[in-house]
Amino acid sequence: MKLGIAVLVLAYGLSQFYRAFLAVLAPDLQVDIGAMPDDLAAASGVWFLVFAAMQIPIGIALDRVGPKLTAVVMFALGAGGGAFVFAMAQSPIHVIIAMGLIGLGCAPVLMASYFIFARTYSPAVFATLAGATIGIGSLGNLAGASPMAWAVTTYGWRETMQGLGIVSLLVAALIWVTVKNPPKVETEHRGSVFDLLKMPQLWPLFALMFVNYAPAAGLRGLWAGPYLRDVYGADVSLIGQVTFVMGLAMIAASFAYGPLERLFRTRKWVIIAGNTLSVVSLLILSIVPDPGVWVSAALLAAIGFGGSTFPLLVAHSKAFFPAHLTGRGVTLVNLFSIGGVGVAQFATAPLHTYGVGMAGGFTTAYGLIFAFFLVTVLCGLIAYFFVTDRTD
């Protein structure tokens, strides 16, 4: 089982990579196939929306057929096939289609790991295991920065994407060989996702889930690249360095929040503290969008750290789930989280276009994007204040 989890973490690393690499490719895609920032925002949004849309059927599949078959089929067809489609792209629409396929393929791998944790390990260590999975898997997020920039410069972006397609197929084969399904929960109650949606104590969690990851994922995966290029004239190398720093902050957060929960004996207030850090950083950038490239890098890193409370939010939510709805529960939470990122990507694209045409140009455009993220996270945080704290 441990080897299977390690392979699922490897697959999740590729998922993290695929949601983050567009920021580095932005200059090359604009030159080669005319993909503008708005096109890439749409492509990134499609990745997250397809990923989110698949969570309900994935939850049903996890509870009924298990994580092994669910992850293998979707990762091979989606992540592998989508990478090859991306490598052949001749226009922005091809990139959008490819990102949709990749989003479908990446959708089950983290939830497959969480499903195994929930069925196999004590609830007391779930948040730590969940955070460690994201922390280790987020090395793929780092690979989407400087290493991706190096590969594109050395081999070309099409050849790099072909190599990623091959790697994705190999990882799918390893999942088939190593992952074992945990025992099923025997119960007379079948239940459905609607039983979870009827639980009022979950809705404050859903509200924060919908917005808390959107700034970190949206900026790290897409807007950081155009922002640094347009406001500071950054090249691919500098963009890779700044996004690498932001990725490191997100990894550090994934390892930190679980121990902090045990240290302070609260999930709610650790989550509130992390998201407050995001709010303060977004407030500064929305007021002063060009404070200097390394000040911006530090604030982006703070947003990444504050927006990485996902494992703790899943652990908090899981405390309310009936055991036989574990698969549907964790995927429902993931739907809100990833779906919020997708919606935010589509919402910020017209803000960028509108801001560029205003006085201040690019500075105004990115100030509007930061302000959008600020308002949405603040609203989610206010709703979350009303949730019941649970550490079981």
How does pLDDT run across 82-110, given as a tens digit for each residue? 999 999 999 999 999 999 999 999 999 99
pTM summary value: 0.78
Most confident range, picked from 26-30, 236-240, 365-369: 365-369
SS3 for the chain is CHHHHHHHHHHHHHHHHHCCCHHHHHHHHHHHHCCCHHHHHHHHHHHHHHHHHCHHHHHHHHHHCCHHHHHHHHHHHHHHHHHHHHHCCCCHHHHHHHHHHHHHHHCCHHHHHHHHHHHHCCHHHHHHHHHHHHHHHCHHHHHCCHHHHHHHHHHCHHHHHHHHHHHHHHHHHHHHHHCCCCCCCCCCCCCCHHHHHCCHHHHHHHHHHHHHCHHHHHHHHHHHHHHHHHHHCCCHHHHHHHHHHHHHHHHHHHHHHHHHHHHHCCCHHHHHHHHHHHHHHHHHHHHCCCCCHHHHHHHHHHHHHHCCCHHHHHHHHHCCCCHHHHHHHHHHHHHHHHHHHHHHHHHHHHHHHHHHCCCCCHHHHHHHHHHHHHHHHHHHHHHHCCCCCCCC
Whether pLDDT at 147 is above 60: yes
Mean pLDDT of the chain: 89
Q: What is the pLDDT of residues 188-244, one digit of tens each?
A: 556 677 888 888 889 999 999 999 999 998 898 779 988 999 999 988 788 888 888
pLDDT at 188: 56
Q: Tell me what pLDDT residue 1 has.
A: 62
pLDDT of residue 185: 66
Q: In the structure, what pLDDT confidence band is assigned to residue 304 with cuts at 50, 70 and 90?
A: very high
Q: What is 2-181+192-384's CATH superfamily?
A: MFS general substrate transporter like domains (1.20.1250.20)
Q: What residue segments make up the domains of the chain, in order of their start?
A: 2-181+192-384
- The pLDDT tens digits for 249-298 are 988 998 898 888 888 989 999 999 999 999 999 999 999 999 999 999 99
Confidence of residue 68 (pLDDT cuts 50, 70, 90): very high
